[in-house]
Each structure stands twice: as C-alpha cells, then as structure tokens.
Amino acid sequence: MINFFEKEPFGFLKNINLFQMAVLNPQIAMLSYLKVGEKIAAQPKKIEESQQDFLNRILELQKKFVNDVCREICKDDTEKCIDLNYNEKKGKFEDNPFENNPSMRFVRQFHETTASWMLDTLASVDGVDEKIMHSARFFMKQYINLMSPDNFPFLNPKVLQKTLETGGENLKKGLEMLMADLNKGTITTNDTSKFKIGRDIASTKGKVIYQNDLIELIQYTSTTAKVFSKPILFVPPWINKFYILDLNEKLSFVKWAVDLGFTVFMISWVNPDKKHRNKGFDNYAFEGLIDSINKIAEITKAKSIHALGYCVGGTLISALLAYLAHPNCKKRPKMRLESATLLTTLLDFERAGDMAIFMTDSYLESINVQLEEKGYLDGQVMFNTFSALKANDMIWRYFVNSYMLGEKPSAHEILFWNSDPTNITQAMQTFLSRDMYRDNLLKTGTLKLGGVPLELNRIRNIPIYMISTIKDHIVPWEAAFDGTKLFNTSIRFVLGGSGHVAGAINPPWRNKYCYWINEKHVDNSQEWLKTATELSGSWWNDWFKWIKPMLGEMVAPRHVKNFIRDAPGVYVYKSNINDISYDSDDSNREETI
C-alpha cells in the first residue's frame, strides 16, 4: 500500500485545486445561476408550472417502477413471476446481473428524469442573456454529470459486480490510484510509461535549424528522390505541443507529407515561463511566423511557401495574411504565402461553443492572481478546462474505471499528447479572452497586428482550404464555417468526421472517418451540410489533390547545414533555454538530409 503520509500528513490536499473537475470556479457558476434566478423569481407562474411538471414526471416514474417490479413475463396466466431480466433500454451494464434489478434501474431513471426536468426548466426561463444562459446550462450539465449514479460505487452495477468478484480488491487498487492522482494534482488518463518523446512520439527524423525566444524551427528529413519545389510550414497551436501533427509513424501528418515529396518545416513553440509574460499576438506572428518564413527562404531559395495551421495556429496564419494584405504593413517576409490550410480554426468567435465560458471576464478575474504571480497560465489549468468540456469522456470515465474498478488506463498516443500541457503567457491569455472570444475583433476588422487593422476580406488570390470536424467540441464546425464568410478569396470548406483531434489526425490507411464536401456556394452551415456529398476515406487525400497543382516542379531534396540539434528539439520538453546543455559543436554541425 502506498505510504500516503510519509513526509507531510495530508500533504496531497495542496494539489486538490488542480485535481478538480476543471477550473470550474464555483463563483463563475454561481454568478450565472444568480442572474437566471433573478429572472425566474419574477416569473412565479413559471415556478409553479415547473414544480407541477416535476411532480408529474416523478409520479409517472413511480408508476413505471411499480409496473417494472410487478411485470409478468409468462404468457400463461396461471404462472406468474417477476421479470428480473427485463431490459427496456439497453445500457452499458446490460450483461450485469445488478443491471436487471428494478431498484438499480429506478435510480438511474430518477437521475435521468431529474436531469431532463432541470434542463427543461432552465430553458423555459424568459429574458436571460444568451451568454448567461449558455454558462448556466454548461455548469448545470457538469453538476448532472457529477451526480450520475454511475459515479457512486454502490449505485454502479458494474462496480458492485467487480467488488463481489474480487472481494473488494478493485476498491483497494482504486484508492491507491486516487491518492497517487491527488498527489500529482490531476486525473491519470493514460499510461505515459509506454511513450517517450523522440522515440515513440514526435519521432520523424529532422533537424532544428533555427531558434529564438519563442520557437524552434524544425526541417524534416526528405525520404523521396525528388521533392516539390515549394515547401510547406506547419503552424501548430501554441497552447499544445506541436507533435499532435507527428504522433507516431502511422498517425503522423508530417511523415505522410514527407513521404509524398513535401519539404516540411514545423514550428515548435516554447513552453513559456515568467520571462515570457509580455509575449503576445504580435510576437507570435513576427518572431514565430515571419522569422520562420525568412529562415525557410534562406534555405530553400523558393519564392513562395504554403502554410498549414492547426486550431489557433490557423487563426495566426489568417491574421498574418490580413496583415500582409494591408498597404500599411511594414514587415514583410522574404517569400510569399501562396496558400493556407486551416485545420479546425476559429475566425468568427460569435458561436465559439462551451470554450467561450472559460474566456469571459469573470474567468479571467478568477485566474488573474496566477497570471500576475507567474506571468503565465499554467498548462495544467488548460488541460483541466479541456477535460471539463467533455467531462464524461475525460473525467468521469477514468474516475469510475480507475478509482472504483481499479483498472489502470491503457496507453494511447493522443491522450499522451493531451496530458502534456503547455503554458500560455499572460499577454496571450488576456488577448485570447478579451480580443478574440469576448470582443470578436478579428471578425469586425478592428483587431490590430503591428498597428495595422486586420481585415480578412482584403485577402485575395490566396486559396484557402478549411477543414472542420462534425463532433468538434472546441471549435464547433458551424462556427468554423462562419469564418469562410470573412474572406474574399477562393475557399474549399471540408467537413470531417469525429472530433477536434481524431477527425484531424485521420490518415488514409485507417479509412476510419468519412468527410463531406459541397461544391455549391451556400451561406448557411446547416444548408451546406444538407446539400453536401458524403465521401468515404480521409480528407487528407482530398487536401493533397487540392494543393498538388500549387506545389511546383520536382527538385532535388534540400540540404541542412549548421543545424542546432536533432528534432524534436528541446522546447518540446523545457521552456528556459538557459537550462539546456548542448554538445560543444551543436550549433555548427553539418549533415545532408
């Protein structure tokens, strides 16, 4: 058994704030409920109707329970018995004997009935601001998920069965894992021991060819005898590690592109610390994007480059294109951006979904102490926030499996990446919360980069490929579609299957998710989907077909000289470059790749 109190009795409690369901500050939830409460208090008739509705639902449920207990399963009137195998609605515990107990079914049905009544009552309140209602509904769903009978060991049929089978060993193992996670400060969702960055993850061969305070720039080793003359720059989100695009040999977008003949470059953002507190959007655009493009121009001698941005990486690319399209822009890169590919990217933040709840002034105030003290938002906070957006999948699933069933999480590449969070600078967190999510300045054309207003409709003659995913909970596809209306250039909008990560990282060999295309000009997202054509296979193939005519002639692979270190570099591990020790000749090595 783990010695939990070896050094500091109850020392694990210091981490419990990080172990919470997310950074679900109760003050933010209470503010939403108070404002809804003010409205419903002024509608006494609504309260009376809601109470009567709840009573009717409970009475109906009670009647159903009595019928369930007394149900006759024998057609012969002379032979009567209780149907303990009755299963009106098959669930995840359908093969469990406890599932067939009417009382256990009643508990779950009571929870479902109460939950639907709560949400229906909330929706019936008139006069509530849409954003307040969105926040109240989100937090109510969190409470409903929390109170699910499945989250309580003696109300969960699967846990009861496992406890009987193991003599309680599952609960003992679960307690050990619970205490370990409390000490760590977060729920363990993945067996991280199976992966090592550079070996199993982010393992595509390449070199770090440039470095500044914000980025390492990686050039990947060519694997083909000839390459396309025009290179491509991958711009990952700065709120996650870059290797989502290079998970492993089979799931790597990078490896797939290299093997097709692309010369691929990748930005690896620094994991910021206190000294980066003032690094904001301008720094990420100029020191990140433009510095990278300039270095690539020196190496390849190409006159143009294609850019691919994932999530806010795509937002950054779009902002730079708008900046470069403005006559007053003062800093131009040494090569032209010929096309842009935007993966699950928000440009119009009006319908930003549940993520917007964590970008409000109230939320910013709740984390302001940490921002002022540290100069950055701890990556663990964002990890917990993203987990809260899919609480049943990312929190309660592991709460039940680990702490009650005693089952250790398995190894999964995407979950490894997901649990490897990145800090966000104070300046960038404030910018995202206020300028993007709250004020939606990019849509209105009033956001500025380098003092220049960013008007996306100035972008012309630069083809754009936009891919969103139908189950995306971070960038709702309808909101991503709204962004297409802001441009004044050729756009191919494609809708992939699955969600924000699995739908984007969908290599052709898997043939797992379909995608939708629509050659018609449709302004409404739902009309677009209604008239779209569903195709099997990966959208990666569709993207390659789209970009191939713009890649130029085939040339000999480029060579790397004076590289700094091997990929995946060091920023993927640390933030402070002064803490990194190098080989004496690290900055002056030569190799042909």
Q: Which of 74, 81, 311, 329 is catalytic?
A: 311
Tokens standing for residue 195: 């992966």
Q: Distance (Å, rounded) from C-alpha 121 to C-alpha 385? A: 26
Which regions of 203-347 does DSSP assign to beta strands (E)? 206-211, 215-220, 227-228, 232-235, 264-269, 304-310, 336-343
Helix, strand, coil distribution of the chain in percent, nearest 5:
50, 15, 40
Strand partners, 233: 265, 307
Assess contact for 309 and 315: CB atoms under 8 A.
yes
3-class secondary structure, 434: helix
Quickly count: other Cβ atoms within 10 Å of residue 78's Cβ: 5
Strand partners, 377: 424
Q: Which residues contact 527 (CB under 8 A, 6 or more apart)?
A: none
Tokens standing for residue 327: 């006559």
Q: Distance (Å, rounded) from C-alpha 223 to C-alpha 204? A: 11
Active site annotation includes 311:
yes
Assess contact for 275 and 375: CB atoms under 8 A.
yes
Assess contact for 425 and 272: CB atoms under 8 A.
yes
Euclidean distance between the first and final Cα of the chain, in Å?
51
Residue with tokens 């980066």: 276
Active site amino acids: 311
